[in-house]
Amino acid sequence: MFNSRSNIIFRYNLLVIFFFTTCAFIIIGCTVITMFVERETWNTIKERNVKRNVPIEPRRGNILNDEGELMVSTLPLYKIHIDFVYKNSSSQKDEENIRHKRDSIWRKDMKALCAGLHEIFPEKSAAEFEKDLSYGFRNKKRYHWLYNRKISYTQYQRLLKLPIICLGKKYSGIIVEEEIQRKNIFGDIGMSTFGIVRQTTDKKGKEIEEINGLEKKYDTYLRGIPGVGRKEKTGGKFILKVEKAAEAGMDVQTTISSEMLDICENAVKKVLKHYHLPAGWAILMETETGDIKAVVNLTKLRQGEYAETIENIPNNPTPNHAFCRLMEPGSIFKTIALTAALDDGRLTVNDSVRSYASKVCSFNGKTVTDEMYRDNGSGRYSMAEALKYSSNISMVQYIRKAYANKPSDYTNTLIRFGLTENYNLIEGESTPYLTMPGTKRWNGLSLNSMSYGYAVGMTGINMVSFYNTIANGGKQMKPRLVKAILKDGIVVEEFPTEVLNEQMISKKTADDVTKLLVEVVNGKDGTGKRAKSNSMIVAGKTGTANIPNSISGVYDNSEKMMSFCGFFPADKPKYTLLVQMLYDKKQDTRPDSLRIKLGGGSSAALAFKEIAEKVMAKEFTAGVEEAVDTINSPLPIIKNGSYSESSFVMEKMGYAISDATHTTDSRWGSLSTNKAGEYTFHDKMIDTGIVPDVKGMGAKDAIYLLQSCNLKVSIEGYGTVKAQSIPPGSKAVNGKSIKLTLAP
């Protein structure tokens, strides 16, 4: 019987050994097949779940204003998910421990987390958050929305401080996906100058990056250096893991003033709306430095609605009117023509020309019209009158008198003035042109036309730059739009102000022309009278230029550009300003009774005046000595309390205290003052057995006195004691609690 049992056990052992040996061989065989035979297949499956060398876009640098404040920024948005399953393929023990701790933390703190989520996202109740997260927790969801919308950076930072989430990814399972959004902080204001960066598609449907303005001009600084990462599939979703972090782009600090930008936009928009105009723009420059403090480019999108846009729509053929739109400037060019003749010594301000008795005259077979003709009775027009009345007929005579024999001298002087310069301030800035003698475009009428702003193509920035030179006494400054490049707030490259010509025109010429421009605004019947200000002297020139019909090419008065360019205050210029607006008869929907004839003086000059006055109002600051409070006493207020401390403070402030009522035994009291500023100290005798009156004291003195009476003190609020829970004069019971209420 014994042998039979031994045989059974032996056979059973053999069977077990055979079974495990067979399993071992099968496992080894499968491993060999997997490692060698099926290696490529499994590697392919692995690569499907891992994406390597994934580029990580860096955060684009900011565009800042002149004070270093944000104008355009890359604002992150975040998608937040929770992975309720913790995995650690290298340590099963760690995986089990963390899962156990996780479950405990989530059960314990879920309510607190949901309450915090409700405070950040009040549109969803704490109960709704708890119901949603409990579902994800029970079902071990791998990619469960914590909040099913993208959240802002501020919300994200608050979220990181909440229970569970504050413990980090390991214990909370938080999964964060960042999405970058480029945003102009102040909406569309300045958009056409700052530019945009966006993804779009070309005509073939291929996705491309669209970029322009300062964004493109300084793209190499702003873009940053991409990083590298890999995406691994987790819970059916690819999660990005960083291998090399991206390096954020640098910041570009401009010369733009946010406040002045706002002033310019509002003033231009007001006039555009009033007259139903299709577009308008303004450039404000700081005279001494050439810094551009504001550029606005407004386009009518639909009736009554104006905004800055880079879209190629009917009223916006260029992405930036002020820098990129070439147009014949009209009468604001007359200032340039006369400056050339004066500085070349061909004319003086005392010269005069014939005053024709008709609004229309013919020179070299071309008709010239004076819209603002005035018969002064003398038969002559002085240079001041020619400019003040914006007389085309007079300008033709002056410029022909100066340059008819050698017109190339005129164009060479205009080139010397920088009127063909492309300052390349933003990407896409246009290059101005002049009609040059000896070219196909030059004919016998060219000199006439160029005397009052035709046969030339100018940008707004070129015009304002020239007027700025006059305001600056003849010193030509290079327009500056960007002042520095910053990395983490530290300047790494600076673009200083630059003098292009220390004396482009003589100081005398600049002074003479300034007087002429002041007369345009302040003289009787001057075309610029609507720019006149009661708070300062303004110098400037109006302009109204006909625009050729886009279909026929004929100047038919259906479209025109209306301008005002000048500087202020004229006696000591601080700013130079150009305002230009377009008129299109087809878009003028005003009733016939309101359709007054428009020009630079009745449109652009109005916006100029408003901008000038509001900008200068910023400059006026009163001295500290004028800051007198007529309601409250200027004398210092001293709280009730210690005499020694009060007298010390008052002595240091230069005030004397009369201590006639003060006795050697008294240490506490109050101060009073009279209109002469004399202070008197009044004793308060303290009895430690009686609750003192501490109202009017600071917390320190009040607590000291009450604790001297063996009372337990608690306080609420801050400032001066306004109330005490035990009335003054009551018996001080040893150890009794007293509450003080303080208020500012």
Reference 423, options 458, 474, 453; nearest CA is 458
According to the model, what pLDDT value does residue 89 have?
Answer: 79
Pair of tokens at residue 232: 């691994």
Nearest C-alpha neighbor of 155 from the set 115, 116, 111: 116
The Cα–Cα gap between 96 and 98 comes to 6
Spell out where 519-646 has E strands: 539-546, 559-568, 575-584, 641-642
Q: Please state which of the ranges 483-497, 537-551, 569-583, 693-707 shows the lowest mean pLDDT.
A: 693-707
CA dist., res. 732 & res. 700, Å (int): 19
- Out of 43-52, 135-144, 549-558, 710-719, give the one with best mean pLDDT: 135-144
Distance CA 398, CA 353 (A): 7
Give per-residue pLDDT as tens, 72-98.
Answer: 988 778 889 999 988 887 888 888 888
pLDDT tier, 356 (very low <50, low <70, confident <90, very high otherwise)? confident
How many Cα atoms sit within 13 Å of 547 on the Cβ side?
17
pLDDT at position 19 over 80? no
Strongest mean pLDDT among 91-100, 629-638, 692-701: 91-100
- Higher pLDDT: 310 or 581? It is 581
Most confident of 4-18, 117-131, 143-157, 261-275: 261-275
> First vs last Cα of the chain: how many Å apart?
104
Distance CA 522, CA 495 (A): 38
Other Cβ atoms within 10 Å of 181 Cβ, number: 11
Q: Which amino acid is at 126?
A: A
pLDDT > 80? residue 718: no
Most confidently modeled range among 23-27, 42-46, 116-120, 637-641: 116-120
| Distance, CA of 467 to chain centre | 27
Statement: residue 147 has pLDDT above 90: no
Q: Position of tokens 């650690």? A: 88
Residue 398 contacts by C-beta under 8 Å, 6 or more apart in sequence? 337, 338, 341, 347, 351, 353, 383, 386, 451
Per-residue HEC secondary structure of 206-229 comes to CEEEEECHHHHHCHHHHCCECEEE
Strands 352-354 and 679-683: unpaired
Name the DSSP class of 479: P
What is the reported pLDDT for 420?
Answer: 96
Which carries the bigger pLDDT value, residue 445 or residue 550? 445
Residues 6+ apart with CB under 8 A from 522: 529, 532, 537, 538
Pick from 529, 535, 527, 581: nearest CA to 559? 581
pLDDT on residue 625:
53
Say what the alpha-carbon torsion angle 240, 242, 245, 251 is, to the nearest 10 degrees.
20
| Cα–Cα nearest to 371, from 527, 517, 585 | 527
pLDDT for the residue numbered 664: 44
The two domains 258-619 and 641-743 share their CATH topology (first three levels equal): no
Residue scoring higher pLDDT (423 or 641): 423
CB 573 within 8 A of CB 553: no
Q: pLDDT value at position 302?
A: 85
As assigned by CATH, the class of the 258-619 domain is alpha beta
Classify burial at 390, counting beta carbons within 10 Å of its beta carbon; exposed 0-12, middle 13-18, buried 19 or more.
buried
Q: What is the share, in percent, of the chain residues with pLDDT greater than 90?
A: 49
C-alpha pair distances (Å), 116 with each of 110, 112, 160, 171, 249: 10, 6, 11, 18, 34
The distance of Cα 471 from the centroid of its chain, to the nearest Å, equals: 28
Confidence of residue 241 (pLDDT cuts 50, 70, 90): low
How many Å apart are CA 725 and CA 622, to the nearest integer? 47
Closest of 232, 274, 339, 371 to residue 595, by C-alpha: 274
381: tokens are 């027009």
- The model's pTM is 0.70
The CATH fold of domain 52-253: Penicillin-binding protein 2a (Domain 2) (3.90.1310)
> Distance of CA 340 to CAs 399, 505, 680, Å?
9, 9, 76
Greater confidence (627 vs 370) lies with 370
Q: Does domain 641-743 have CATH number 3.30.10.20?
A: yes
- Res. 683 pLDDT band, cuts 50 70 90: low
Give residue 245's pLDDT band: very low, low, confident or very high (50, 70, 90). Answer: confident
Six-digit token string for 77: 């948005």
AA letter at 737: S
Check residue 561 and give left, alpha or beta (phi > 0: left; psi -120 to 50: alpha). beta
* pLDDT band at residue 685 using 50, 70 and 90 as cut-offs: low
The two tokens of residue 616 are: 């200068």
Q: How far is 279 from 313, CA to CA, in rounded Å?
A: 12
Task: Look over the chain and give the mean of its residue pLDDT values, rounded to a whole number.
Answer: 85
What's the token pair of residue 524? Answer: 């009787």
Q: Name the least confident of 150-159, 176-185, 238-247, 397-406.
A: 238-247
Residue spans per domain, the chain: 2-37, 52-253, 258-619, 641-743
Supply the DSSP string of 471-498, one letter for each residue: HTTTPEEPPBSEEEEEETTEEEEE----
pLDDT at residue 236 in the model? 59
Residue 202 has, within 13 A of its CA and on its CB side, a CA count of 5
| Residue 660 confidence (pLDDT) | 47
Which helix (H) or strand (E) segment holds residue 312: the answer is none
Considering only CA atoms, which of 328, 401, 411 is closest in space to residue 363? 401
How far is residue 566's CA from residue 545's CA, in Å, rounded to a whole number? 17
Classify 155 in phi/psi space as left (phi over 0), alpha (psi -120 to 50) or beta.
Answer: alpha
Among 30-44, 115-129, 285-299, 586-600, name the one with the lowest average pLDDT.
30-44
- Which letter does DSSP use for residue 36 in this model? I
Predicted local distance difference test score (pLDDT) of residue 197: 87
Is the distance from CB of 150 to CB of 79 less than 8 angstroms? yes
Contact 408, 455 (CB under 8 A): no
pLDDT at site 647? 65
Overall average pLDDT of the 518-534 stretch: 94
> How confident is the model at residue 675, as a pLDDT?
58
Higher pLDDT, 657 or 566: 566
Residue 186 confidence class, pLDDT cut points 50, 70, 90: confident
Q: How many CB atoms lie within 10 A of CB 212?
A: 22
- Whole-angstrom Cα distance, residue 625 to residue 110? 60
* CB environment 505-517: b (16+ within 10 A), e (fewer): beeebbebbbebb
pLDDT tops 90 at residue 590: no
- 494 token code pair: 């600076």
Distance of CA 270 to the CA centre of its chain: 21
User: Which carries the bigger pLDDT value, residue 687 or residue 691?
Assistant: 691
Higher-scoring residue by pLDDT: 177, 499: 499
Q: Is the pLDDT of residue 665 over 50?
A: no
Reduced to 3 states (helix: H, G, I; strand: E, B; else coil), residue 433 is strand
Half-sphere exposure of 189 (CA within 13 A, CB side): 19
Contacts of 13 (CB under 8 A, 6+ apart): none
Structure confidence by residue, pLDDT tens digits, 289-305? 999 999 999 999 988 89
